[in-house]
Amino acid sequence: MKNVETKVWDLLVVGGGSAGIVAAKTAVKLGASVLLAEHERPGGDCLWTGCVPSKSLLAAAHHRAGIRKSAALGVHAESVTVDFAAVRRHIDTAIRTIEPVDAPETLQAEGIHVVKGAVTFISDGKAAIGGDRVAYRQAVIATGASPIVPGIPGLRDFVTSETIWDLRDLPSRLLVLGGGSVGCELGQAFARLGSSVTLVEATDQILPAESPDAAAIIADSLRQDGVNILTGRALTEVTGNNPGVPGNTAVLADGTRVEFDQLLIAVGRRARTAKLGLEHVGVAVDEQGRIVVDRSMRTSNPRIWAAGDVTPLPQFTHTAGAFASIAASNAILGLRRKATTSAIPRVTFTDPEVASVGNTSAAHGTRQQTITHDHLDRAVTEDERRGFSRLHFDRKGRIVGATVVSPRAGETIGELTLAIRLGLRGRELAGTIHPYPTFSDGAWNAAIADTREQLNARSARRVIRGLTSARSMWLRLRPHRH
């Protein structure tokens, strides 16, 4: 690695996941010399253990469930079996198909200098990568996050979203701790593939970030797939805990006992900052250990920037990439472009999907319009009527938030994200012709319903105002009767 030591790099990128790769590509396109250090393999969580394997598993599970459901549409399939080894091969194929895009050779061909090793900051402008010293003008930290493992007595052996992909066999009884995106997506997928799944969530609803009616639809759907959902419970003790061996029991705070063969811990992720030497360069972290950034993605050290799961911003691949691009261009061009956080979409890829964006609270001065999908034509033809499309509007009629629960809701939310970002009004969405029949008709119909209501309300107000002024004029001008 001697050649990396002889120059001062315009940008040192620490971590080769979604955020690090985008930061490096952005900077190199701006003409900067870029050194990207990754201590494992480029691609990060999304490619190896996150989005790609999980969505591939979900696809297999979706087909399995579709066959079961198809009888209601008149299509009967006899004896359906799941070949878990083949499911694993499908996951592996998806990873191998996408991998070349993030491979070191591809990045090198684009002009990025890639080295393998863990970075530790030594002082301002100096860092160590393994045994080598490098000098940098600016740096972007993009080291991501790792699954949190709570301290529970008896908890010894378990899988997380990082290790579940190593399972050779489908667990017959899977206990999932945590009912967030990971717990719901993987819990439903394993149940559909044949595991007996129990999901334990500490709060009173699964997917606590979503509206209660959206979460309730997902909970019903998971239950239909056989998932036993236990909300509002804490796991207090685990006995046995030898995966694959019978006799493992989880004891919950209310005394409930759950037998399991495999335990998936999915209770959130913690920023990876250990051994980065942040204290040597004055980079501040918050109380949860996440690197604090301002809206330009700059840390408390003016020449160090951060993006992705290592920051307090929402932990998604799309945010990692978008904010890393802002960090890198600000670093290289000396700009202070700011990240927009008012229109960040999120999708949980359960069946149905739940997708949300913007301000979805019933805040003062906002109104909302909900179209349930029981009479949405595409939902009826697909026999997928669980779901709704909801738009939130501000006083001026601008769309400020949206929630969609439906198959492929993640596709619909893109349009609504654009509407929010551009400050479009409901009537502008209402006036945009949408193809029929689609699930995105739901959001369109919500916009049309709101526009009609507003027109009615406005014309009614105008009529009343007209009548009142006509009446008072008449009273003033009428002939005196005395």
Ligand X SMILES: NC(=O)c1ccc[n+]([C@@H]2O[C@H](COP(=O)([O-])OP(=O)(O)OC[C@H]3O[C@@H](n4cnc5c(N)ncnc54)[C@H](O)[C@@H]3O)[C@@H](O)[C@H]2O)c1
Shortest Å, Cβ 320 to ligand FAD: 4
227: phi > 0 → left, psi -120 to 50 → alpha, else beta; which? beta
Which of these segments, 61-69, 219-227, 303-311, 434-442, binds ligand FAD (CB under 6 A)?
303-311
Q: Which residues, in sequence order, are CB contacts of 465 under 8 Å at separation 6+? A: none
Does 289 interact with ligand X (rule: CB under 6 A)? no
201 is annotated as contributing to ligand binding: yes
Shortest Å, Cβ 325 to ligand FAD: 12
Shortest Å, Cβ 368 to ligand X: 24
Please report, as residue ranges, which positions from 223 to 282 form the binding site for ligand X (by CB under 6 A).
234-235, 266-269
Does 163 interact with ligand X (rule: CB under 6 A)? no
Does 316 interact with ligand FAD (rule: CB under 6 A)? yes
Cβ atoms < 10 Å from Cβ of 318: 16
Q: Which of 326, 331, 355, 329 is nearest to 343 (CA)?
A: 355
Does 42 interact with ligand X (rule: CB under 6 A)? no
Does 272 interact with ligand FAD (rule: CB under 6 A)? yes
Residue 379 and residue 443: Cα distance in Å, rounded? 13
Residue 239 in tokens = 């006995």
Beta bridge partners, 34, equal 11
Residue 373 and residue 390: Cα distance in Å, rounded? 11
Q: Is the CB of residue 174 less than 8 Å from the CB of residue 186?
A: no
Shortest Å, Cβ 412 to ligand X: 15
Type of residue found at 395: R
Which of these segments, 2-10, 177-185, 278-286, 448-456, binds ligand X (CB under 6 A)?
177-185
Does 18 interact with ligand FAD (rule: CB under 6 A)? yes
Shortest Å, Cβ 188 to ligand FAD: 13
In 3-state terms, what secondary structure has residue 305? strand
Type of residue found at 404: V
14 is annotated as contributing to ligand binding: no
Does 347 interact with ligand X (rule: CB under 6 A)? yes
In this structure, the dihedral spanned by the alpha carbons of residues 239, 242, 247 and 250, taken in order and rounded to 10 degrees, is: 40
> Binding mask 138-167 vs ligand FAD (x if CB under 6 A, - otherwise)?
----xxx----------------x------
Cβ atoms < 10 Å from Cβ of 278: 22
Pairing of the two strands 132-141 and 8-14: parallel
Does 177 interact with ligand FAD (rule: CB under 6 A)? no
Q: Name the E strands within 108-153.
A: 113-116, 119-123, 126-129, 132-141, 145-147
180 is annotated as contributing to ligand binding: yes
Q: Which of 426, 431, 360 is nearest to 395 (CA)?
A: 426
78 is annotated as contributing to ligand binding: no
Does 315 interact with ligand X (rule: CB under 6 A)? yes
Residues near ligand FAD (CB under 6 A): 14-20, 37-40, 44-46, 50-51, 54-55, 118-119, 142-144, 161, 182, 272, 276, 308-310, 315-318, 320, 349
* Binding site per annotation, positions: 55, 178-185, 201, 268, 309
Kindly list the residues in this chain that would bind ligand X in the complex (CB under 6 A). 150, 177-183, 185, 200-203, 208, 234-235, 266-269, 314-316, 346-349
